Each structure stands twice: as structure tokens, then as C-alpha cells.
Amino acid sequence: MPISVDEIKSKMENTLKIFHDELGRLRTGRATPSLLEPIYVDAYNSKMKISELATVNAPEPKLLTVQVWDKSMVANVEKSIRDSELGLNPNTDGQLIRVQLPDLTEERRLELTKVASKFAEDSKISIRNIRRDAMDKIKEDQKNNTISEDEQKSMSDNIQEITDEKTKEIDAVIENKKKEIMQI
């Protein structure tokens, strides 16, 4: 069955949605529970999100609290927060983990822009992989005579156009995010 350009566009849109979610979790001012969402914890012989093991709250603008439900998981949750790329230093008090968010220094802001740039690059790679897989499928379809050479050329051009559009969108979003992070 020939590949659908709408299907390719949908996959790329999902990649952009994930990219936006990742950027939304980057801290630019206030503490939000979603900041810890991308962190996975080794728990019960699998990887689990913090939200599946604890309640995360933001009682103060620069403080997150993580109330771990199972006492045996406190150390694992704390280690996962410490080892994340977020540069956080959690403190444990029984089953409650306090995560004091550092003030955004110039150095920290530059660090956050690097993390944001990494998210952007990962998203671009994902979009290029979707394009590559689609192009391979189109070539295969053309080779198997399920589509004509003209259809192959047209679909390839269309997919490249969508890829360029999504890549430019990522570039625009990341530039805005960098400005937001660097703004004092």
C-alpha cells in the first residue's frame, strides 16, 4: 500500500508536539510540577514516571515537593532527580523530597539554552528520520511498480517540503525559547 503524505505530516506533527512539551517543562521562572515530568525512576524492575510514584507540588515559587508514596522508592526518586539534566539538588525528609530551585544565574540560563537546543536538535533528527523512512518506502513502492515515477517524484518533493516547513518551525520556536530563557 502506498504511503500517505498525510500520515507523514501527522508523524511530524506528533514530533513537534513532543518538542513543545519538552520546552514547556524547561524552567524560566516559577516552579511547576511539570518540571519533573520527563524524569523516569528505576522502580519495581521497570522505568516509571515520577507522577506514577509520587505527588509533585509547587507550594512556593522556587520550591517543589515530591511526596513519595512508597518508602522504599524515596532513594530512587531522589537519585533520578539529582541525575536529571535539570541541575536540581533534592533534599529528603522521610518520604518528602524538597527540591529547591536555584536562582537563574547567567550560567544557568546558558545551560538551559543548551538543553533547549538539544531538544530542538533531537526533534529535527526525528523529523529527518521520518522523512528518510518515507522516502525509502516511496522508492520501494516505485521499484515494485505500485506508484509511477512521476508519483514518486511528486510525493518526494511534497515530503521534503513538509520536512523543511517543520524544521523551520522548530528553529523559530527554539529562538523564541532562548530569548525567553535569557530574559531577566
Tens of pLDDT along 42-64? 888 888 888 888 898 888 878 88
- Give the whole-angstrom CA distance, residue 47 versus residue 158: 39
- Give the whole-angstrom CA distance, residue 40 versus residue 79: 10
What's the start-to-end Cα distance of the chain, in Å? 53
Do residues 25 and 49 touch, judged by C-beta distance below 8 A? no
Q: Is the pLDDT of residue 181 over 90?
A: no
| Confidence at residue 89, expressed as pLDDT on a 0 to 100 scale | 85
Do residues 166 and 12 touch, judged by C-beta distance below 8 A? yes
The average confidence (pLDDT) of the chain is: 87
| Confidence at residue 45, expressed as pLDDT on a 0 to 100 scale | 87
| Confidence at residue 171, expressed as pLDDT on a 0 to 100 scale | 95
Task: Pick the more confident residue, 129 or 32.
Answer: 129
Q: pTM (2 decimals)? A: 0.67
**Neighbouring C-alpha atoms within 13 Å toward the C-beta of 56:** 22
Residues 109, 96 within the same domain: no
Looking only at the bridges linking them, the beta strands covering 89-93 and 96-100 are antiparallel
Picking from 69, 100, 131, the residue at the C-terminal end of a domain is 100
Q: How confident is the model at residue 121 (pLDDT cuts 50, 70, 90)?
A: very high
Residues 112, 165 within the same domain: yes
Q: Give the CATH number of the domain where residue 72 resides.
A: 3.30.1360.40
